[in-house]
Amino acid sequence: MSETLDHIASAARTDAPPAILLDKVNKWYGALHVLRDVSLNVALGERVVVCGPSGSGKSTMIRCINRLETHQEGTIKVNGIELSDDLKALDDIRREVGMVFQSFNLFPHLTILENCTLAPIWVRRMPKKEAEELAMHYLTRVRIPEQAKKYPGQLSGGQQQRVAIARALCMKPKIMLFDEPTSALDPEMIKEVLDTMVGLAETGMTMICVTHEMGFARQVADRVVFMDRGEIVEIGEPNHLFENPQTERLKTFLSQILRGH
Ligand X SMILES: Nc1ncnc2c1ncn2[C@@H]1O[C@H](COP(=O)(O)OP(=O)(O)O)[C@@H](O)[C@H]1O
Binding site for ligand X (CB under 6 A): 29, 32, 34, 52, 54-60
Cα gap 3→9, rounded to integer Å: 10
Question: x/- string (CB under 8 A) for another protein, residues 174-213?
Answer: ----------------------------------------
Closest to ligand X by CB, 70 vs 154, is 70
Tell me which of ligand X, Mg ion, another protein, none is bound by residue 36, counting a contact when its beta carbon lies within the kind-specific cut-off of 5 to 8 angstroms. another protein
Cα gap 23→131, rounded to integer Å: 37
Element holding 240 (H helix, E strand): helix 238-243
Query: How does strand 206-210 pair with strand 175-179?
Result: parallel
How far, in whole angstroms, is CA 182 from its chain's centroid? 12
Contact 135, 166 (CB under 8 A): yes
Tell me which of ligand X, Mg ion, another protein, none is bound by residue 140, counting a contact when its beta carbon lies within the kind-specific cut-off of 5 to 8 angstroms. none
Residue 106 in contact with another protein, rule: CB under 8 A: yes
Q: What share of the chain is helix, strand, coil (3-state, %, to 5)?
A: 45, 25, 35
Comparing C-alpha atoms, which of 176, 217, 177 is closest to residue 194?
217
Residue 19 in contact with another protein, rule: CB under 8 A: no
Interface positions with another protein (CB under 8 A): 5, 8-9, 12-13, 26, 28, 30-31, 33, 36-37, 66, 68, 72-73, 91, 94-95, 97-99, 101, 103, 105-109, 118-119, 121-123, 125-130, 151, 153, 164, 167-168, 171, 223, 229-237, 240-241, 244-247
